[in-house]
Structure 1
């Protein structure tokens, strides 16, 4: 019988989102691979290599890498990214395709690593002008996790004291404060610190989120 556990269902969603991103990336040219992503200083190709790295490193190797970088996580991420960024974008994409079905991850809940795929896929798509309707099966567990807990990002801190309400799903995260309305994707990306998505939100709590988002 197939494994239909909640954990396996979340991994299946991550695999599906990686596969969709790989198909989108197959349509872009070399110049587009070099464009800035929404993820700080990284290009489209850098973020793709980062996603490959995240799907290729288990807990023990992740810990060894973090210790080797003296817990400088920017350095840790850059080193792992460099392992998977290839001489050409086509090769970088090929390496990413090879991990589409991977359930390897560092320590932490599966929701966090599904969120890694969802958020970084949008970091890539938005600058390229590519629009995907991300399935709620992928978005809802990530949105709930981000609203509940700081993990690799300070998502909980971004929305502390606010009430989030999705306009396209049943997602609500109520911390007893001013309301913020938007699509589940826009709320998720804002919780991930992507301030550009605040332009898609409404309500008296929007400016609080915008001020808390990463530069």
Structure 2
């Protein structure tokens, strides 16, 4: 996965196309992120796209190094009163290649996980590129929960992606698509038919979701 930005840009464009037909009243639908509706998550994606290493450090300092406060400030800054204006702002930043000072793979995590935070509650579906999703999953498996990853959730388990060659870890198996595994490792709920194997309860017991 050397070409991360083309994938991120394609995912942003796909999300824009999906959201163009969403009626105004549905933008208040709760997302998979507790306390955020789908409109909030889109505003968060705009803030992510606008962020530069310098602006990230300055705003994080202004938030007294509290990531929740940092995220809420970004959401408030980018969330327009009319969701159509928020969507227009997302369209305007969709080709940017800036971000916080973090590994580029975090852009893939954001693109896939936050898109599902929005799509699933709205009943929208997308066939994501499996190998790119697997690259995001590999990053989450290497990264601690405290840094927005999911390493601790998957400890002691063997994760097998049925749509890619990913086979990671040792222990009770959890089988499913790379997307379902990525969501579970990232602390998102999955449908009961998406994952199988004796390790499923251990992977999904967290049940909580996390902003990031």
Q: TM-score range by the shorter chain?
A: over 0.9
- The question of 1:141 aligning with 2:168 is answered no
Q: Cα distance, 1:136 vs. partner?
A: 1.9
Question: Is 1:157 equivalent to 2:161 in the alignment?
Answer: no
> What is aligned with 1:33?
27
CA contact (8 A) 1:52 1:96 kept: yes
Equivalent position to 1:192, from 186, 190, 199:
186
Name the SS for the 1:164 alignment partner: strand
Deviation at 1:199, TM superposition (A): 5.0
For residue 112 of structure 1, what is the aligned residue in structure 2? 106
SS at match of 1:212: coil
Map 1:38-117; keep pairs closer than 5 Å: 38-117=32-111
TM-score of the superposition, structure 1-length normalised?
0.92
1:168 aligns with 2:154: no
The answer to whether the 8 A contact 2:141-2:151 is kept is yes
Partner Cα separation in structure 1 for residue 192 and residue 49 of structure 2: 29
- Structure 1: runs of 5 or more not aligned: none
Does the alignment pair 1:205 with 2:211? no
Shift of 1:154: 3.6
User: Is the 2:28–2:39 Cα contact (8 Å) retained in structure 1?
Assistant: yes
Deviations 1:89-147 (A, max 9, x none): 11000000011111110011110122111100000000000010011242121011111
Give 1:213 deviation, angstroms: 3.9
Length, aligned pairs only: 208
Contact 1:48/1:92 (<8 A) preserved:
yes
Distance across 1 between alignment mates of 2:193 and 2:90: 31
CA separation in 2, counterparts of 1:11 and 1:32? 30
In structure 2, the gaps of 5 or more residues are: none
Alignment check: 8 A CA contact 1:158 1:213 kept: no
Structure 1 outlier segments of 4+, above 4 Å: none
Distance 1:23 1:141 in 2: 24
> Alignment RMSD, CA only?
1.5
Q: Are residues 66 and 199 of structure 1, via their aligned partners in 2, closer, same or farther at CA, if it must alter by over 3 Å?
A: farther
Partner of 1:22: 16
Q: What's the CA shift for 1:193?
A: 0.3
Q: Which moved more, 1:151-160 or 1:123-132?
A: 151-160
SS in 1 for 2:136: helix
Counterparts of 1:181 and 1:22, CA distance in 2? 31
Residue equivalent to 1:182: 176
